[in-house]
Amino acid sequence: MGLFNDKVIIITGASEGIGRALALKLAAHKCRLVISGRNMQRLQSLSSELTDLGCEAIVHVADIANQTECTGLVEVCVEHYGRLDILINNAGMTMWSRFDELEDLSVLSQIMQVNYLGPAYLTHAAIPYLKQTQGQIVAVASLTGMTGVPTRSGYAASKHAVIGFFDSLRIELSDDNVAVTVICPDFVVTQTHKRALNAQGKPLGETPMQESKIMTAEECAQMMLPVIAKRQRLLVTSLRGRVGRWFKIIAPGLIDKIARRAIDSGR
């Protein structure tokens, strides 16, 4: 993990879940962090933990759905540290409703704004600095970005967009030696599920997942570290996800059934 030594890293969505867990894992590797999200109290609490672990970290509150705030986040990083080595696009939101039961269609635009346009805005602001350091972009997508999933249509669309966008960007930036890594987690225990928007566009308030049966954020973050360190192009965190990529070609109906079963069982 020596590749993280002295690296300057931005992590969005760092106040909880995968982003928080990843920041704590990286703290052991002598990197310098910018942790960002929308909840100042949680970010400050994380910053204190990182400081106790001997990791330098600055806090910056930003809403990645806002292009100006994305630019400001990158500027704060470069002004403080002088450079940027790794951008981790982790922040996101989700939904939980059949499309034909969706009453508030603004859910679709909200999710696309946060999950796809936000990372695009932030990455655009970061690219000039990443070219200077021959750095890396990490996009936390989802297994849902590789296949259709019932009740998650808008979320699946946004994550399909994320994967297509960053796969294209990888090719564009190859001559600049800027690596692009896409992470596709299966279900992970995070607060995001409790805030998933329902048919009325309101947060669910409780998770529909069997949290004891799915991966923790800490386990997911641990899987991410070596993939990021080696600048690999893709991580799919579950066996069913890795196998499913091939079965989707030869037995797509089976994958549809697996996706339905996963949602129905919450695991």
Q: Which active-site residues does the annotation give?
A: 155
Residues 166, 171, 173, CA angle at the centre, nearest 5°?
Answer: 85
User: What residue ranges in 38-102 does DSSP mark as E strands?
Assistant: 56-61, 86-89
DSSP letter (8 states) at residue 12 = S
Q: Please provide the DSSP assignment of 198-253 as one string.
A: -TTS-B-SS--S-GGGSEEHHHHHHHHHHHHHTT-SEEE-SHHHHHHHHHHHH-HH
The whole-angstrom separation of Cα 227 and Cα 230 is 5
Q: Residue 15 — φ and ψ, nearest 5°?
A: -75, -15
User: How far apart are the C-alpha atoms of 166 and 32, rounded to whole Å?
Assistant: 24
Report the distance separating Cα 178 and Cα 199, nearest Å.
40
* Token pair belonging to 142: 């989802």
Helix, strand or coil, per DSSP, at residue 58: strand
Q: What DSSP state is assigned to residue 99?
A: G
Q: Cα–Cα distance between 55 and 6 in angstroms, integer?
A: 10
Between the CA of residue 101 and those of 93, 152, 153, 156, 230, what are the distances in Å? 19, 12, 12, 17, 43
